[in-house]
Every structure is written in structure tokens, then in C-alpha cells.
Structure 1
Amino acid sequence: MKTKMNKELRLAQLKALEVFGKKAKTFALCGGTALELYYLKHRFSADLDFFSPRFNNKEIAEIVTAFDKAFGKKFKLESEFILPDRAKVKFYTIKVKGSQRPLKIDFAEDVLFKNPEISRIRGVRVYSAKNIYLMKIMAMAGNRIQTDDIGRQTMHGRQAARDVFDVYVLSKKIMPLHLYLKEIPGNLQRGMIHWYRTFSRQETKLSLLDLDIYDKKFNAHEMIMYLENEIKEFMKEVVG
């Protein structure tokens, strides 16, 4: 389903962020919506992802209670679980009048950064663009080693077009990918090289059609060529 800009959903997001800004102590906005609203203005992102290295249940309860009061109805706890990387997650939703999609809110434990770079932007605690950049690369490259039938070990990510597009725009606006790759751990460098060698160009192009990309001149082929060239440049400079 195409993630299309929806005025009612956007207003609900902004209302929730206003409440969050007043209540959050350790949690901060992360992910695609943080990139869209505060850094890149590149595509519509429908969900709110709040991360904290501490995952304080009391803080979550206080924030959700404030959401309930502001919206005049209760947010529904859809699920709580532990991801393969052992991060704890609580997932809430609320129906939004005029929107087919509910507002989805995740509270997640940050197992990547012990001390993330956080700024207060227009009253909201937000992860830095470079911290989110690393999270997006991890999503593409993977953070778990898999062994194939002949014993080769490789990293595998989630293969989501939104991550690829976000990394593309981050490379254009924040720091070129070939330079940023030099700053990250070797396992993620190898994971990105593996991604470059194995990802489906055609599937990525098709999946991009599900995104509401604001730049109407955006060209998927140009994006793929750009990212390939960035990774080739990194390999030339570092791998040799």
C-alpha cells in the first residue's frame, strides 16, 4: 500500500509530538519521520518511532497517558516484544478520523547507541541525522551474521526501499555515503558491500513506487547508480 501524505494523519502526528515534547525525558524521535520533519523534507513517513537506551516503562506509561488525555481516547497497546537484537519494543495505535491508516507509535530500546546525539528541535527531542544515518545503514546491511551452505558468513538487512531512499538523501544532504562508511564499524562496511553486490535493482525500483516522495523529478535509476558509485568509491579508497 502506498504511504501517501495524509493531512489528518500528519495533524495527529504533530499533536502527539507536541505532547511528547513536554513529557519525554530519555526517549527521542528517530527513524523516517524524524528525517522528514526535521532534516530532509524528502518523503512522507507515517509512523512515530521513539527510542531510548534505557527503555523506562514508567516514562512510556506517562507519555501514553498524556497522549490519551490530549486525543480524548485511549491509545491501544498492540504488542510488546523483544527483537532478535534483544531490543525491547512497545507498539501502540490510535484510529485517526479521516485517515485509513491509524497513527502508529513505537517505543523501542536503543541497543546501538549508549549515548545518542539528541537535540531539542522545535520543542521535541530528536536523534541527530548522523545517528539515524547509521541506523538506516544497519537496516540495509543487517546486524546479524548468516552462514551459507559452504560456510561463508554474510550480513543480511531488511531490504526495505524506504531505507535505501533515506540513505540516498542522507548521502546527498548530510554526508556522502563513501565518506560516512569510513566512520562506521567494519561489519557494517562489509554488510553494505554485500548489499551492493546482491540487492535486486528491479525490486527496489518497484518498491519505491509505494513511497510518497516529494521531489517529483526523482529518478530511481539515478538513485541506484548514485549509490552504486558511492560504494564503489568507498571500496576503491579503502579496500583497494
Structure 2
Amino acid sequence: MENSIRQVQKKVLKIFARKSSSFALAGGTALELFYLHHRFSVDLDFFSTRYNIPEISKIILELKKDFKGVKLESELKILGKAKVRFYSIPIKGNRQLKLDFVEDVISKSPKISKFGGISIYSVEDIYFHKIVAITGMRQDEDQVGRKMMQGRRQSRDVFDIYMLSKKIKPLHIFMKKIPAVLQRGMVHWYRTFSRQDLKLALLDLDIYDKKFNAREMVIYLEKEIKTFISEAIE
């Protein structure tokens, strides 16, 4: 199944490279294929600060020439939030490849690199996106009126941050250059996330390193955030 998904991904990316002008691949699949090679990632997330709908339509039209059943699943257009179009391509074995075209409201001027003609977000921009996925972007009040931020808290985002911290830049150092509200969001996540739930959710990921230890990951991330806190208050 992984092989069939990978073949479709490669074909989609080849078409994307020819037809896209402002969108670039980001997310977990960009990390897997071009930076970390750490876990199998299925979905293709294409981001653009311009969010050009005619460009999306041009890419989809070209994909329909090679794939049957390309479908617009839904579209998100809510004032104050990123615009998103969600597409799917059926794959043998009753699976789907999901394609998300997303308006980037997180990175104002993302750095784009080319790999084999494919536009890819820089690893630093994806790192930043992953932190926002954990922390969220909006502040809400808790029961006692304190303002808190909370993101989607998916295990894949936590694992990606762990690998980014180990292979690209330690988390406690990277956190120093992100906005204070996101720094507080990461500290809040560290203080509140369920260690047990995270360890269980990690079992659903196809992690390439068979010696991976979830407990060691949790201890490592806790140490990174504790280091950030201690250096911030010195």
C-alpha cells in the first residue's frame, strides 16, 4: 500500500512542478521526502501566501488528465482564517491521497527551495508551522480567565518537532526566535499534554527508525522546553 501511495505522490508532484507558480509543498510529506526521511507521510500540503484559485484550478485540471476521481471534498472560507481547498485522489486498496491547497497566513515571506523542480518550503518555515500546529494561533480564556493557546496536538506534529529538534536545530534554540505568544503556547503544551495519550497515538505512525522510543522522545522534549524556560528567566 505504501508503495502505491508513494507512486501516486511522485506523479502528482511531477505535475505540480510543471503547473504551479506560487504554491509550494510543506507539511509532513515535505519533511519526509526532502529533509528528515523519518516517517511515512501520506497527504500533500501545498501552501501559498497568494492563494491563487485559478492556479489551483489549473493544477487540478492537469491532475484529472492522469487520475480518475479527483474530487473537491470541501472548501474553507471563513473570515479571519486561512482559506483551504481539500481535494482527494482515490488509490487502489480503498485509500485516498489528500491534497490540501492552503493560504499561508503564518509565514509572511516563506523561503522556497527547489528540489527536482518542485517548490518546497524551507525546513525552518515548516518547523515554524509545526510549532503553530501544536500551539494554535488564537488565544482563548480558561475557566479562571487566563488566556491560553491550544492547537490540534496531533502526534505526528510532536514527532516532527522532535526530529526537527534533533536533526535541524534544538527546540530550545529555535524557540528563542519565535513570537512570545508561541513561546508561551509551547510551554503551556509542555505543562498540559497527556504523556500517555501521546505515546498511544504514536503507535499509529509509520516511523522508519524501529528503535524509536516514545518515552525517550517525551523526556527529550521536556528537557528542551525546560532548558528554554531556564535560559529565558536568567
1:83 touches 1:89 (CA, 8 Å); kept in 2? Answer: no
Distance across 2 between alignment mates of 1:105 and 1:150: 40
- Partner Cα distance (2:69, 2:191) in 1: 46
CA distance in 2, matches of 1:84, 1:166: 30
Q: Give how far 1:85 is off.
A: 5.2
Q: Deviations over 1:83-104 (max 9, x none)?
A: 685100001111112x332111
Distance 1:164 1:43 in 2: 12
Secondary structure of the corresponding residue to residue 119 of structure 2: strand
> Equivalent residue for 2:82?
87
Q: 1:55 matched to which residue of 2?
A: 51
Go from structure 1 to structure 2 and tell me whether the alpha carbon gap of 1:214 and 1:225 turns closer, same or farther (over 3 Å shift).
same
How far off its partner does 1:146 sit?
Answer: 1.0
The DSSP-based 3-state class of the residue aligned with 1:54 is: coil
**Structure 1 runs not aligned, ≥5 long:** none
TM-fit CA distance, 1:70: 2.4
Match of 1:86, as an amino acid? K
Aligned counterpart, 2:60: 64
Aligned length: 234
Moved over 4 A (4+): none
Q: CA deviation at 1:115?
A: 1.6
For normalisation by structure 1, the TM-score amounts to 0.95
* Deviation string, structure 1 residues 107-149 (Cα, Å, up to 9, x no partner): 0100012221100111100001110000000111111111012
**Alpha-carbon separation, structure 2, partners of 1:160 and 1:56:** 28
Q: Distance in 2 between matches of 1:149 and 1:226?
A: 31
Shift, 1:239, TM fit: 2.6
Q: What is the alpha-carbon distance in structure 2 between the residues aligned to residue 10 and residue 171 of structure 1?
A: 26
Asked if residue 171 in structure 1 is aligned to residue 177 in structure 2, the reply is no
Shift in CA distance, 207/85, structure 1 to aligned 2, threshold 3 Å: farther
> Of the candidates 179, 188, 208, which is equivalent to residue 182 of structure 2?
188
* Shift in Å, 1:82: 2.9
Match in the other structure for 1:205: 199
Aligned alpha-carbon RMSD (Å): 1.2
Q: Distance in 2 between matches of 1:102 and 1:212?
A: 17
Q: Which amino acid aligns with 2:57?
A: A
Aligned to 1:237: 231
After superposition, the C-alpha distances for 1:24-70 in whole angstroms (9 at most, x for unaligned) are 10000010000000000000111000000011010000001111112
Task: From 137, 141, 156, give the equivalent of 2:135.
Answer: 141
TM value normalised by structure 2: 0.97
Confirm or deny: 8 A CA contact 2:69 2:90 kept in the other structure: no
Separation in 1, partners of 2:80, 2:38:
29
Match of 1:118 in 2: 112
Partner in structure 2 of residue 42 of structure 1: 38
Aligned mate of 1:11, from 7, 11, 16 = 7
